[in-house]
Structure formats: structure tokens, C-alpha cells
Amino acid sequence: MTNPDDSRSMRERMIAGDPYIKDSEIVEMNAAALDLIAAYNATSARQPALRRRLLEQLLGSIGEGTAIRPPFYVDYGSGITIGARSFANFGLVALDGAPITIGDDVLMGPNVQLITATHPVEPEPRRQRWERGKPIKIGNNVWLGTMVIVLPGVTIGDNTVVGAGAVVTRDLPANVLAVGNPARVIRSLDSAEARAAAVQGHTRG
């Protein structure tokens, strides 16, 4: 799955979204992230300053007022950017072999999964452990309900609400309510409705 003239490292291939195999450099990146995640997941709610410091070390960027309740799981952390005033409840999984971009005022219920990694369907390259990542983008003021799964390459537009347990396999536009597996749009939301839904989600945790 490589071009003989391609001199890029596996890390460079991963960042570019091209097929790669985890080499020693990528394994070390993952190990460093897992060390930070272990430290973060061992913190108490009484240690907000320590939690903030660990997230700033782990993530590509994190906005003011954003909170993530442990436990939290990543592959590398550096591929994740989160805007201001966003909130993730217990058990967020954000596998960032490709970039994960999360906007401002996003609410995520317990056990949400943001999965950028994908593998070949052909048996031999999959056996050889080839993989690639496709970026995920979550717009501003989005609410992802409990146990929502967002699959590789998906973009979710501003103000959209995704119901609990939905599996998002393709892009969702702004200002809609989507439910189901695969997630489908069931109605439009004006911006006022979307804000109200997000407030309701926040009060429910």
C-alpha cells in the first residue's frame, strides 16, 4: 500500500490521512498520550487546575470553560481541538489518528465515541495492520446524546442534535435533529430550538 518513491515517515503518512502502519515513533506517541490520560483519569473533581493542566498538555488545544469528565480515552490527543464552554460527560472516546475538531458550546453525553480510524476491508492489508484516519468535525452548539458514535470522515453542522445511541455514518447539516442507526434527519431545528435543546441536554448531564 506504499509507493516506493514515497519517503515520508509513517507519522507523516498518518497526519496526511494516507495508509500507515504504526511504527516505533507512532507507538511512542501513543504511549506518551496514555501516560497523560492515566494521570488525568486518576484526578478528582476537587483538582480542576490539575485537570486543566493535563488537558492542555494532552490536546492540540482546548478553549476556556471546557470540561471533560474522566474517564476519557484518546489515541494521541494532539489531533484533538476543542472550543470554549464545551462539556463531555463520563467515558468520552476520541480516537484521533486523524484530526478531531470540536466547536464551542458542544455537549456530549456519557460514552460518546468519536472514531477516526478505519481499516482495509481486504484481508491481507488488514492482517498486515495497515490503517488510515479520516477527520471528524463537530460544529458549534452541537448536542451528542448518550452513546452516540460518530464514524470516520463525518462532519456535523452547527446547532445539530443527535439522539442517544445514534450511529452517525455520514455528514449531518446544521440545525437538524437526527436519530437512529444509521443516523437520519427527522426534522429541522431553528437556532432557538437548537439552543433550547442544548440547554436541556446540559441540565440532564
Predicted confidence band of residue 196 (pLDDT cuts 50, 70, 90): low
Which residues are annotated as catalytic?
Answer: 119
In the predicted model, is pLDDT for residue 203 greater than 50? no
Summarised one tens digit per residue, pLDDT across range 111-133 is 999 999 999 999 999 999 999 99
Q: What's the chain's average pLDDT? A: 93
Summarised one tens digit per residue, pLDDT across range 6-27 is 789 999 999 899 999 999 999 9
- Domains in the chain: boundaries: 10-204
Q: Which fold has domain 10-204?
A: UDP N-Acetylglucosamine Acyltransferase; domain 1 (2.160.10)
What's the pLDDT score for residue 2?
A: 62
Q: What HEC string does the chain produce?
A: CCCCCCCCCHHHHHHHCCCECCCHHHHHHHHHHHHHHHHHHCCCCCCHHHHHHHHHHHCCEECCCCEECCCEEECCCCCEEECCCCEECCCEEEECCCCEEECCCCEECCCCEEECEECCCCHHHHHCCCEEECCEEECCCCEECCCCEECCCCEECCCCEECCCCEECCCECCCEEEECCCCEEEEECCHHHHHHHHHHHHHHC
